[in-house]
Amino acid sequence: MENAIEIRGLVKEYKDFKLDSVDLTLPGGCILGLIGENGAGKSTMIKCLLGIIHKNQGSITILGRDADKELADIKEDVGVVLDDVGIPDTFKYKQINSVMKCTFRNWDEAVFEGYMDKFGLPKNKKFKDFSRGMKMKMGIAIALSHNAKLLVLDEATNGLDPVIRDEVTDIFYEFTRDEKHSILISSHIVSDLEKLCDYISFIHKGRVLLNEEKDILLEEYAILSCTEDDLSELDPDAIRGKKSGKYGVQALVKRDGVPAGMNLSPVTIEELFVFMIKEIA
Amino acid sequence: MRGLLVKDMLFIRQSWPVFAYPLYLTLMCAIMTGASGKFYPALGPAIAATFCLLPLMVIADDHRTGYEKTLAFTPISKEKMIGARYLLNLIVSLAGCLMVSLILGIGAMIGSVPMSGLLTTAIMFMVTALVIPSASLPLIYFFKRANTVMGFSMMILCAITALAFIFRDKIDFSVGTAAVMFAATLVMMAVSYMISVRIFRKTEIC
């Protein structure tokens, strides 16, 4: 199966920030979580992907097609939700439906209405009177209602209450049941990504630190709780980060670099990320 | 492109109070026509000046609400986005021209004024209604400042309206002259479109 997204050597320069030779692959039928702190470059990467901003260098392929040449056509098959949903203030459900029906070839009114009901969105309320959470839900409903093959979500679950976030996560998971469907999701709510994603990519200060299958990461790394002396006896290559505390040291380690018998506990993606960033800093 | 046009039309329909002033001005001009017994071609630009901000308001609203970002995810090329805006200008201008011609015509009929000047007035309406956006749109796309450009356009339009009324007796065109001006306006619009496309292709949407 072809990759849903292939980014090679992506460079985007600003005065005080640079997205530096980013390589990223989202295999078809998978969910890739893009994790990074604020200002890491997640949104910049996504905007370059969608052609909202111009890249300085690099190639981008979406659903097997060259984004430089066929971007407008590709967008028929891409559903996008950014952190801010832009719809004219005075539009209600009916107007939004009319516009989207004329915009997307594969717009499905019944599916859109279904998501409006599922998310409990009022049909007679103007968009400007929606709460932030309702606006995000509207954005998600629109993205899911034109038979997209790829969803690109940039902080799309921010502002949603935990119950709806859980529901939306289930919907995204359901979306990828079809092996032709893929999702690229960026967030700093790492717990959502941990539940949902097959692949994880860490981005920090414009560079991709890691791009790996989630299960492999969780198997490969662990948290070691020990003393400084014990830690100093380990192979330095096995240690990816450490945190000293009152009761000893916690270190992010590669399991195969740690002798048996040491106190290892499973690592979460969030811990993995925090330790790696602190180590770089 | 159809989706963008539908969205713009819905926005204009919902902004109907904006038509109140142009309608009022048109009625006043119709009364003036009936009372004076002649058509003033200068009234065309004066009334058009109140219409032609509407398509610019659409762009300003897209920027304010963030719809331009939403537009960036839709399967519409940058050329078609620009094309939709120019087409909107044409549609709104034509619709305005028809409405104005109808009202002025009724005023003329009531005042038993010969209809010969109506065509000239209508053409001059179209000329102004297309010239102002043709000049403004490339500036909006270049500076990404729809509100600022609109502000300057409003000042120019107020000046046009004032001058048109003050010198209405002195400004008199034949239909032929007005037709030539209209043809030149269409050429200007085409050039403006090409400039806007070149600018917008290089522009980052956000």
Flag whether pLDDT at B206 surpasses 80: no
User: Does A102 contact B6 at a Cβ distance shorter than 8 Å?
Assistant: yes
- Min distance A45 CA to chain B CA atoms (Å): 13
Q: What is the pLDDT of residue A281?
A: 64
Q: Which residue has tokens 């009625």?
A: B27
Flag whether pLDDT at B112 surpasses 90: no
Flag whether pLDDT at A155 surpasses 70: yes
Mean of pLDDT values over A44-48: 92
* Confidence band, pLDDT 50/70/90 cuts, at residue A114: very high
Residues A227, A71: Cα–Cα separation, whole Å: 54
Residues A119, A113: Cα–Cα separation, whole Å: 10
Q: What is the pLDDT of residue B183?
A: 94
* Confidence band, pLDDT 50/70/90 cuts, at residue A109: very high
| Best mutation target, A103, A126, A142, A149, to test chain B (most B CBs within 10 A) | A103
Q: What is the pLDDT of residue A104?
A: 95
User: Does B67 contact A104 at a Cβ distance shorter than 8 Å?
Assistant: no
Query: And the tokens for A172?
Result: 């995204």
Which candidate from A76, A78, A86 shows the least CB-CB separation from B70?
Answer: A86
Query: And the tokens for B84?
Result: 């939709």
User: Does A103 contact B68 at a Cβ distance shorter than 8 Å?
Assistant: no
Q: What is the pLDDT of residue B107?
A: 86
pTM: 0.85
Q: What residues of chain A have any CB closer than 8 angstroms to a CB in chain B? A: 47, 50-54, 71-76, 78, 80, 82, 84-91, 95, 98-105
Task: Quote the radius of gyration of chain B (alpha carbons, Å).
Answer: 18
CA-based nearest residue in chain B for residue A74: B75
Q: What is the pLDDT of residue A108?
A: 96
* Confidence band, pLDDT 50/70/90 cuts, at residue A213: very high
Flag whether pLDDT at B157 surpasses 80: no
For residue B63, what are the contacts with CB-CB under 8 A and spacing of at least 6?
A: B144, B146, B147
* Confidence band, pLDDT 50/70/90 cuts, at residue A145: very high
End-to-end CA distance of chain B: 20
Residues A268, A192: Cα–Cα separation, whole Å: 12
User: Does B69 contact A52 at a Cβ distance shorter than 8 Å?
Assistant: yes
User: Does A100 contact B68 at a Cβ distance shorter than 8 Å?
Assistant: no
Q: What is the pLDDT of residue B114?
A: 77
Mean of pLDDT values over B43-69: 82
The size of the A-B interface in CB pairs under 8 A is 78
What percentage of chain A exceeds 70 in pLDDT? 99
CATH class given for the domain over A3-205: alpha beta
End-to-end CA distance of chain A: 38
Q: Which of A71, A73, A44, A76 is nearest to A60 (CA)?
A: A71
Q: Which residue has tokens 């005023």?
A: B107
Flag whether pLDDT at A16 surpasses 80: yes
Q: What is the pLDDT of residue A228?
A: 84
pLDDT in tens, A77-104: 999 998 888 999 999 999 999 999 999 9
User: Does B205 contact A53 at a Cβ distance shorter than 8 Å?
Assistant: yes
- Min distance B8 CA to chain A CA atoms (Å): 9
Rounded-to-5 percentages of helix, strand, coil across chain B: 85, 0, 15
**For chain A, what are the domain ranges?**
3-205, 217-280
User: Does A103 contact B10 at a Cβ distance shorter than 8 Å?
Assistant: no
Q: What is the pLDDT of residue A146?
A: 95
Q: Could you please report the per-residue DSSP string of A167-191?
A: HHHHHHHHHTTSTT-EEEEEES-HH
User: Does B75 contact A98 at a Cβ distance shorter than 8 Å?
Assistant: no
Cβ neighbours of B5 in A, within 8 Å: 102
| Best mutation target, B70, B202, B205, to test chain A (most A CBs within 10 A) | B70
Mean of pLDDT values over A205-210: 89
For residue B168, what are the contacts with CB-CB under 8 A and spacing of at least 6?
A: B40, B42, B43
Flag whether pLDDT at A34 surpasses 90: yes
Is B63 in contact with B146 (CB distance < 8 Å)?
yes
Which DSSP category does A56 fall into? S
Q: What is the pLDDT of residue B203?
A: 81
Give the three-state DSSP class for A249.
strand
Mean of the per-residue pLDDT values for chain B?
Answer: 85
For residue A183, what are the contacts with CB-CB under 8 A and spacing of at least 6?
A: A30, A31, A32, A150, A151, A152, A153, A172, A175, A176, A196
Torsion angle of C-alpha atoms B193, B84, A79, A211, degrees rounded to 10: 10
Is A45 in contact with B27 (CB distance < 8 Å)?
no
User: Does A53 contact B204 at a Cβ distance shorter than 8 Å?
Assistant: yes
* Confidence band, pLDDT 50/70/90 cuts, at residue A148: very high
User: Does B66 contact A86 at a Cβ distance shorter than 8 Å?
Assistant: yes
Flag whether pLDDT at B200 surpasses 70: yes
CA A165 to chain centre: 14
Mean of the per-residue pLDDT values for chain A?
Answer: 89
Is A144 in contact with A79 (CB distance < 8 Å)?
yes
Flag whether pLDDT at B165 surpasses 70: yes
Q: What is the pLDDT of residue B184?
A: 93
Residues A87, B66: Cα–Cα separation, whole Å: 7
pLDDT in tens, B14-41: 887 877 888 888 888 888 888 888 777 7
Main-chain phi, psi angles of A35, to 5 degrees: -115, 135
Cα dist. B128→A84, A152, B97, B158, B194 in Å?
37, 44, 11, 12, 20
For residue B174, what are the contacts with CB-CB under 8 A and spacing of at least 6?
A: B120
Buried b (16+ CB within 10 A) or exposed e, A231-260: beebeeebbbbbeeeeebbbbbbbeeebee
Flag whether pLDDT at A152 surpasses 90: yes
* Confidence band, pLDDT 50/70/90 cuts, at residue B111: confident
pLDDT in tens, B86-98: 999 999 899 989 9
Cβ neighbours of B9 in A, within 8 Å: none
